[in-house]
Structure 1
Amino acid sequence: MYPDTLASETGNMEDEVCYSSVSFVKSEEIKPREEQSVETQSEETVYTEVKKTGIQAEPSPSQTPADDGPLPGRPRCHRAVVALGLLTAALLSALVALVAYLQLRYEDASIANQRLHLKMVQLQQEKETLRMERDHLSMTLGVIFQFSDFPVDHYCPISGNSTQDRKCSRPCKEGWVYYQSSCYQFICSDDFYWEDSKNHCNKSGAHLVIIDTKEEQAFINNHTKFYYKEYGYWIGLQKTEDKWQWVNGSELIGGYWITNEKHKCAATMPSSDPLKSWKAKDCYYRYRLICEMEATVWPD
């Protein structure tokens, strides 16, 4: 009968254990705690007591694997994504800064190229100006060297008293008249023989006037005036071996004669008809004279 008694006592003990466990759980639920803490503590206490008594308790429906907390790899993945985003933002910022820097450098280089181009153009213009000034000076010296005694005051007068600068631009010497690339001097102060008139013109680098065209003849006649009856101006025409020749050796063809008989030297007389003003005169008459020389062409 002993075994029955042992079994009966064992059963009583299990009942007491279960009862004490239930009483323990109830006493724990009465304690004033937060709702989530009480539930968690009760479940842990029941699990512990059941394990001691060998009774297997079924898991609570709310205690699922999904509620065991976040998986170990999820925080690491989140940190990696954040780090990757930060790295991408940093790279984009660096790229934007690099593009802005390159754009600034490009603009600076473009401005520098424009300034260099303008400087090159300016230097080229200065070079061209210097070349033109050099050529102008060379041509000016070429004109001056044509004279054995250059009359600088006649051709290159002082342009300003303050600077004393000279400008060589006159085609004719002072007191001479310019017409169709020639300069003419009408000597009205003294009377000369024809030969003396020729020498006087030669001393000034000119010659007695040579009339080639109707226009020149009209110009000469318009610049002569009466001063005595039958007094005129010697021109560079003389008869040699019954032929009229100009002082440069060329033979006269035609002419604007009033009369050309008897005498060997020619003078132009002031006339109302410019195409009839020449007269043959004795070479020892004392007349006024007209000198002619080529006009000086200065470089522009």
Structure 2
Amino acid sequence: MSEYNTLLVRELHQLKGNHSSLMTEFTLVQMHYANLSNSNEMLQTRYENASAANQHLHVEMSQLQQEKKSLKMERDHLNQTLEVIFQFSVFPVDDYCPVTDHAAQDRKCSGHCQKGWVYYQSSCYLFLYYQSYLNWKNWAEGDADCTARGSHLVTIDTADEQAFINNHTKYYYDEWHGYFIGLSNIQDKWQWVNGSELKGGYWTTGRPIIQYGSCVASMPSTDPMKSWKNVECYMKNRWICEMEAAIWPN
């Protein structure tokens, strides 16, 4: 019994030692867990700060992109306006930048076109409504007149523009007299004054056969999509000029 008791006491001491070691390890695990928890909280805080900073940068980037887009648009408008200005040997400043305060001679540049011209979709149009036959011109003379005004005979690119042109023309003599546009026969091809070749068209009775000395006039029509007519270039007609509009920055 004495030996058995001794053995039990020895085992009890060993168990106490094991328990103490386990408690020490458990304490170390708890400390490690606490450290991990603290590290996790720090990482979570850093992640939230990084996310907030990233969102802020995203907002700033969007704002910068919008500013860049606005600046590019303003630059393009200024370049277009400079092109308009450079077409004049003497710029008609009163038409584009009228005096708003005569006492202070303050001006505000807001006009897109000169007086008498009609603004439409970033272009200005001049419809020459001369009543007298003496003022009408053949196609080449009309083209030269537009050039002298810093413009060109109108080029029509879309159905909307064609409808706009038709809405501003009116019958004035007979069914053969209309308004010269910048389209003529160049080397057996219908070609615009800007050098581009015609695609499609808004003919009264289908696309005509090209003949020598053929030019195109827009006839007033109830159907704006059917108003072009092949006429002799030497005919005397009214004509339409077109130039880029001045787009001023806000």
TM-score of Structure 1 vs Structure 2, range by shorter chain: 0.5 to 0.7
Q: Distance in 2 between matches of 1:148 and 1:168?
A: 19
Q: Distance in 1 between matches of 2:128 and 2:106?
A: 31
Structure 2 runs not aligned, ≥5 long: 1-70
* Identity in percent: 56
1:245 aligns with 2:191: yes
Q: Distance in 1 between matches of 2:174 and 2:89?
A: 40
Q: Distance in 1 between matches of 2:239 and 2:101?
A: 35
1:148-188 deviation per Cα after TM superposition (whole angstroms, max 9, x unaligned): 32111211112233333221110111111010111000011
Counterpart residue number, 2:110: 169
Aligned AA (1:201)? C
Q: Distance in 2 between matches of 1:235 and 1:271?
A: 15
The Cα of 1:145 is off from its aligned counterpart by: 5.3
Counterpart residue number, 2:91: 150
Q: Within 5 Å, which residues of 2 pair with 1:151-230?
A: 151-189=92-130, 190-230=135-175
Q: Calculate the TM-score normalised by the size of structure 2.
A: 0.61
Q: Distance in 2 between matches of 1:218 and 1:172?
A: 20
Q: Distance in 1 between matches of 2:85 and 2:185?
A: 35
Q: Distance in 1 between matches of 2:89 and 2:219?
A: 34
Structure 1 runs not aligned, ≥5 long: 1-131
Greater relative contact order (CA < 8 Å, ≥ 6 in sequence): 2
Q: Within 5 Å, which residues of 2 pair with 1:1-300?
A: 139=78, 143=82, 146=86, 147-189=88-130, 190-230=135-175, 231-259=177-205, 260-261=208-209, 262=211, 264-300=214-250
1:39-68 deviation per Cα after TM superposition (whole angstroms, max 9, x unaligned): xxxxxxxxxxxxxxxxxxxxxxxxxxxxxx
Q: Calculate the TM-score normalised by the size of structure 1.
A: 0.51
Q: Distance in 2 between matches of 1:149 and 1:176?
A: 17
Indicate the SS of the match to 1:173: coil
Indicate the SS of the match to 1:192: coil
Pair member with larger Rg: 1
Indicate the SS of the match to 1:258: coil
Q: How many residues align?
A: 164
Q: Distance in 1 between matches of 2:97 and 2:85?
A: 14
1:233-281 deviation per Cα after TM superposition (whole angstroms, max 9, x unaligned): 0000001121100000000011001153445100000000100000011
- The CA RMSD over aligned residues, in Å, is 2.2
1:91-148 deviation per Cα after TM superposition (whole angstroms, max 9, x unaligned): xxxxxxxxxxxxxxxxxxxxxxxxxxxxxxxxxxxxxxxxx9xx99xx59x7375343
Aligned AA (1:256)? Y
